[in-house]
Amino acid sequence: MESRKYTLRIQRNQKQDDGSIASEWQEFTVEGGETTTILTLLESVKGYQDGSLTFRQSCRSAICGSCAMRIGDRTRLACKTHIGSVVDENGLVSISPQRNQPVLKDLAIDIDPFFKKIKEIKPYLLDGPESDTQVGASAYDQVNNVTQCIMCGSCYSDCTMSEVSENYLGPAALAKAFRFVSDPREGKKTERLKSLSEDHGMWSCVRCVQCVATCPKDVKPMEAIVKLRTRGIEKGFIDGVGQRHAMAFHNDITNTGDLNEFTLLSRSVGIFGSIAELGVAFHLMKKGKIPSPFPHKAEGIQEVRAMYKDLEENPLDVETKAAEVEPE
């Protein structure tokens, strides 16, 4: 393996006496091959250049999740990321701690807030009336993806909603919740769905897909959130802005094949909520972006309806292509 010099631009963070964090960027020149991992290079910095550099690591095998940090444009596992895959044309890559969590020192973050969210969803099977002792052969297929999660926090770090909403459960906790809602042995599926339908739960996700892009284990948290939403609606937990918004989309597409944006806002947030958004409406009007109040029927509406009908009658899990396990 040919060796060359690379530059690691590392964010150094130091807690001050008043509790604030002082940050600065520091560059280190390191040597390695294209497939040398970022973790190996960080260890070389710590071993030979600056012993005070602080970061977490343990398994070195993409299993424990402790080395997740921002590398380049997103959060990655340092032990799984090859330097050659992330450097720019000058051989430089920036490394900083995970986002959305308090920084302790350099690249180490306080993981308590993340695990508090995981605990909030009760990550264990609950006894209750919905427990089924007959576990079908395909039951594991439904949760196969989400059980791959190593709790590294990468999805939480790159989640755009967690950035603006401190109380949002976040993609990892919701994916974990899906794992229990989908388990035939779980006794309180409906109770779980009710609680997840409340504020800061599954309907707060803005579907930016960052969690899917960043997850090093291909867990696809957003896909789990979408399935949770479907199950929540099926159980009748429809009293919320997110649910009304989703149902307005569903109704328009099945009725006319075209979204009626003129009435979408009032159907999602109600009349009073719409009044609060009048400023935005005027702004749109000034820019000539007010949608037509007259919905038109899209061409090929019969085909759209046929697709909806088929999916409703034969729901398929997009990942496993197996029939969904229904929460009893």
What is the DSSP annotation of 17-83?
Answer: TTS-EEEEEEEEEEEE-TT-BHHHHHHHHHHHT-TT-----S-SSSSS-TTEEEETTEEEETTT-BG
What is the DSSP annotation of 251-292?
Answer: HHHHHTSS--HHHHHHHHHHHHHHHHTHHHHHHHHHTT-PPP
- By CB under 6 A, name the one of 41, 79, 109, 225 that touches ligand FES: 79
60 near ligand FES, rule: CB under 6 A: yes
3 near ligand FES, rule: CB under 6 A: no
- Which residues pair with residue 196 across a beta bridge? none
36 near ligand FES, rule: CB under 6 A: no
The one-letter amino acid at 221:
P
46 near ligand FES, rule: CB under 6 A: no
Interface stretch with ligand FES, choices 3-11, 63-71, 86-94, 235-243 (CB under 6 A): 63-71
58 near ligand FES, rule: CB under 6 A: yes
Name which of 76 and 188 has its Cβ closer to ligand FES.
Answer: 76
**Residue 173 to residue 269: CA distance in whole angstroms:** 26
Name which of 62 and 225 has its Cβ closer to ligand FES.
Answer: 62
- By CB under 6 A, name the one of 10, 13, 38, 65 that touches ligand FES: 65
106 burial level (CB within 10 Å; 0-12, 13-18, 19+)? buried
62 near ligand FES, rule: CB under 6 A: yes
- By CB under 6 A, name the one of 38, 42, 45, 67 that touches ligand FES: 67
Residues near 81 by beta carbon (within 8 Å), at least 6 away in sequence: 37, 38, 39, 71
Interface stretch with ligand FES, choices 45-53, 65-73, 160-168, 199-207 (CB under 6 A): 65-73
Interface stretch with ligand FES, choices 58-66, 88-96, 140-148, 259-267 (CB under 6 A): 58-66
**C-alpha distances out from residue 294 to 85, 250, 251, 263, 287, Å:** 50, 18, 16, 10, 20
Quote the tokens at residue 199: 């504020």
Name which of 109 and 248 has its Cβ closer to ligand FES.
Answer: 109
- By CB under 6 A, name the one of 13, 66, 190, 268 that touches ligand FES: 66
Residue that the structure tokens 């920036």 belong to: 94
Name which of 189 and 217 has its Cβ closer to ligand FES.
Answer: 217
CB 152 to ligand FES: min, Å:
6
CB 40 to ligand FES: min, Å:
11
CB 42 to ligand FES: min, Å:
11
**Residue 178 to residue 201: CA distance in whole angstroms:** 12
User: What is the binding site for ligand FES (CB under 6 A)?
Assistant: 57-60, 62-67, 77, 79
